[in-house]
């Protein structure tokens, strides 16, 4: 697992812990830390703070387990394989059904 994937998995694990047991200030600090340290967010400029994101987030954490699992596996594939043929399925283009067989590896 590359460094970026480790950051993503660590953040997801930490986020789930945060949503269960911490205050908004702690959640904002964790999100700000992820933005600062995770290579995925390098070069992203925001005109809002992590505290703004947490403040506007709902108080009830909704978990989409299958979607999260599929997204994590797709992220790993995109970052570990030289080419992943999935753009049509992601954009919902005309040929999306042809990509579904390939994306079944993800699920």
Backbone angles phi, psi at 57, to 5 degrees: -75, 145
Q: Mark whether 55 and 9 lie in a shared domain.
A: yes
Average pLDDT, the chain: 75
Are residues 57 and 13 part of one domain?
yes
Does residue 54 share a domain with residue 69?
no
For residue 14, the enclosing domain spans 1-61
Tell whether 3 and 53 lie within a shared domain.
yes
Q: Does residue 85 sit in the same domain as residue 35? A: no
Rounded Cα distance between 84 and 103, Å, is 9
How far apart are the C-alpha atoms of 34 and 14, rounded to whole Å? 10
Q: Do 81 and 49 share a structural domain?
A: no
Same domain, 69 and 49: no
pLDDT of residue 36: 94
Give tens-digit pLDDT for 42-68. 999 999 999 999 889 877 778 788 888
> 94 and 76, same structural domain?
yes
- Both 33 and 55 in a single domain? yes
Contact (Cβ atoms closer than 8 angstroms) between residue 29 and residue 50: yes
pLDDT at 74 over 80: yes
């Amino acid at each position: 697992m590359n460094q970026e994937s480790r950051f993503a998995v660590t953040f997801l694990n930490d986020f789930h812990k945060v949503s269960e047991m911490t205050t908004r200030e702690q959640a904002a600090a964790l999100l700000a830390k992820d933005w600062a340290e995770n290579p995925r967010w390098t070069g992203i400029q925001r005109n809002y703070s992590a505290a703004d994101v947490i403040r506007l987030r709902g108080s009830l954490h909704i978990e989409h387990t299958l979607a999260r699992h599929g997204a994590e596996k797709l992220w790993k594939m995109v970052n570990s394989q030289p080419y992943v043929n999935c753009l049509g399925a992601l954009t919902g283009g005309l040929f999306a059904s042809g990509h579904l067989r390939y994306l079944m590896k993800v699920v």
